[in-house]
């Protein structure tokens, strides 16, 4: 069994992994930049080591991170999500240095990180894919010719992309010509490679993904699906499990597709198969994420499976604890990404000191956070500072629990997406379970909200006044 894990990440996911280690009796090691010296994951881990003054580069230096894992006596490394989590070089370096990488093999990461290679693997496995190019485009003329063949609109994508970056929708030849060089440039800057490919645009699809687990003994199971259709500019905002939009027949079908896809590439550890569901109820493979997902919490809530602990068990060489028949789901779960952003001003990042923070509680409420009262949110990283996950037996019940928990959650000092989510929960289309990836775009009126004066501020002002009076 693994005895000590270096967590090659920061923020709430680092805290989440440290907590899993603690429950399993495993020592945890955190890394941090100067900007993160007061971060919560540093305080929670058993050990913590500084990785330099640059706020980002330290988290991206695979050789230094693995060297630190070896020097601190770690026998495993967990990459979390983002940063180097889908970098095959990190997995290769871990293998050379005798450190267990808590994730799939470098070969699988490389194959599924290349969108063209992934498409080819899925086609070979009999998984439906969106019509498009079967190789990297060599010129804009080739892109134009293919677009004429499959029809507009089309999606121009970075082959090695992820996280919603390096993607442009083109509704005409003129737009395709204008966007081609832009996407090539974005792909080069963001992912270090200029390769791009083309797919038919699925208009206003539902974004459905399936969580899978595979071990070293050939066992692969799914943990049902998540609905990630509520998103803005390809960035997820709210995630739901299971999808309120699927029938049981569709649920079983997509689960089997995901297991089939994972088996086809020899997948080991936790991963996610992402699909698009069109207006004709046709599923199409979109991509595979070879890492832990931000939204794994909703799957844990409905199945009771601790996905991070399962990752560690699998990396330790143990078989899955569950067969497919052992895994059931109960109720609905919903996760809100609490971003330090101002929705009223085009979701502009709002970094700074958290002057007061209250985490919600009560039945069916879970908070994964990287913040605390007095913490200064640095401007160098993603704006997500917390995740709120709620669970209830019914769809109407989880909506109301989400509404209540969002009202209970208080973050002062910075703007957040909390009031925007409260508006979404009141929308009739959302409440009826009728939404797709165009929901945010179709409902610009949701940003027109008023933030009520928090009762806690009034109470604090009264308390301060009383204290001042008593001090006279």
Tell me, yes or no, whether 376 and 229 share the same domain: yes
In total, the chain counts a number of residues equal to: 472
Write the burial class of residue 325 (CB in 10 Å: 0-12 exposed, 13-18 middle, 19+ buried): exposed
Cα–Cα distance, 263 to 281 (Å, whole number): 24
Judgement on whether residues 367 and 436 belong to the same structural domain of the protein: yes
CATH number at residue 63: 3.40.50.20
Residue holding tokens 């009771």?
304
* Average pLDDT of the residues of the chain: 95
pLDDT of residue 191: 85
Q: Residue 428 class from Cβ within 10 Å (0-12 exposed, 13-18 middle, 19+ buried)?
A: exposed
φ/ψ (deg, to 5) at 110: -65, -45
Do 386 and 435 lie in a common domain?
A: yes
Active site residues: 291
**pLDDT tens string 52-97:** 999 999 999 999 999 999 999 999 999 999 999 999 999 999 999 9
Shared domain for 340 and 251, answered yes or no, is: yes
Stretch (H or E) spanning 221: strand 220-232
Sign of the four-CA dihedral 296, 301, 303, 309: positive
- Domain co-membership, 254 together with 329: yes
Domain count along the chain: 3
Which segments in the chain show pLDDT lower than 50?
none
* DSSP 3-state percent helix, strand, coil across the chain (nearest 5): 40, 25, 35
pLDDT of residue 454: 60
Mark whether 283 and 318 lie in a shared domain. yes
Q: Per the domain annotation, does 374 fall within a domain?
A: yes
**What b/e sequence results for 341-370 when a residue is b if at least 16 CB atoms lie within 10 Å of its CB, and e otherwise?**
bbbeeebebbbeebeebebbeeebbbbbbb
Residues 457 and 144: their CA atoms lie apart, in Å, by: 58
Classify residue 318 by its DSSP letter: P
> 437 and 304 in one domain?
yes
* Host domain of residue 303: 206-447
Nearest to 20 by CA among 307, 371, 390, 365: 307
What SS3 class is residue 128? coil
Widest pairwise Cα distance in the chain? 82
Instruction: Look at residue 172 and give its three-state secondary structure.
Output: coil
R_g (Cα) of the chain, nearest Å: 23
Nearest partner of 105 among 123, 86, 120, judged by Cα:
86
421-441 confidence digits (pLDDT tens): 999 999 999 999 999 999 999
Report the CATH number at residue 138: 3.30.1490.20
């Amino acid at each position: 069994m693994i005895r000590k894990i270096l967590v090659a990440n920061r923020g709430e996911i680092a805290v989440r992994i440290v907590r899993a280690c603690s429950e399993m009796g495993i020592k945890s090691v955190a890394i941090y930049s100067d900007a993160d010296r007061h971060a919560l994951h540093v305080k929670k881990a058993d050990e913590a080591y500084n990785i330099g003054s640059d706020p980002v580069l330290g988290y991206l230096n695979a050789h230094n991170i693995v060297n630190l894992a070896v020097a601190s006596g770690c026998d495993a490394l967990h990459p979390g999500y983002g940063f180097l989590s889908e970098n095959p070089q990190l997995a290769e370096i871990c293998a050379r240095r005798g450190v267990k990488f808590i994730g799939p093999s470098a070969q699988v990461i490389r194959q599924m990180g290349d969108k063209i290679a992934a498409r080819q693997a899925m086609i070979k496995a009999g998984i439906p894919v969106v019509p498009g190019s079967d190789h990297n485009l060599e010129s804009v003329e080739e892109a134009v010719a293919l677009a004429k063949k499959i029809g507009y609109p089309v999606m121009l994508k970075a082959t090695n992309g992820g996280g919603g970056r390096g993607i442009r929708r083109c509704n005409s030849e003129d737009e395709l010509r204008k966007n081609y060089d832009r996407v090539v440039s974005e792909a080069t800057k963001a992912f270090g490679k200029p390769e791009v490919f083309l797919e038919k645009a699925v208009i206003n699809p539902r974004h459905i993904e399936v969580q899978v687990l595979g071990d070293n003994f050939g066992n692969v199971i799914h943990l049902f699906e998540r609905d990630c259709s509520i998103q803005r500019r390809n960035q997820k905002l709210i995630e739901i499990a299971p999808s309120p939009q699927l029938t049981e027949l569709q649920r079983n079908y997509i689960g089997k597709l995901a297991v089939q896809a994972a088996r086809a590439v020899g997948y080991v550890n936790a991963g996610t198969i992402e699909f698009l569901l069109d207006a004709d109820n046709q599923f199409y493979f979109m991509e595979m994420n070879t890492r832990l997902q931000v939204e794994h919490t909703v799957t844990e809530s409905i199945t009771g499976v601790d996905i991070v602990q399962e990752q560690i068990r699998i990396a330790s060489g143990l078989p899955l604890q569950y067969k497919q028949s052992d895994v059931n789901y109960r109720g609905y779960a919903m996760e809100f990404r609490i971003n330090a952003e101002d929705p009223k001003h085009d979701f502009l990042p709002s970094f700074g000191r958290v002057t007061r923070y209250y985490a919600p509680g009560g039945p069916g409420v879970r908070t994964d956070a990287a913040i605390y009262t007095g913490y200064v949110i640095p401007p160098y990283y993603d704006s997500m500072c917390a995740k709120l996950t709620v669970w209830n037996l019914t769809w109407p019940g989880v909506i109301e629990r989400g509404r209540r928990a969002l009202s209970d959650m208080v973050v002062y000092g910075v703007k957040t997406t909390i009031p925007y989510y409260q508006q979404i929960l009141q929308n009739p289309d959302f409440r009826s379970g009728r939404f797709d990836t165009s929901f945010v775009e179709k409902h610009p009126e949701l940003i027109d909200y008023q933030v009520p004066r928090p009762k806690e501020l009034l109470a604090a002002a009264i308390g301060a006044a009383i204290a001042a009076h008593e001090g006279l």
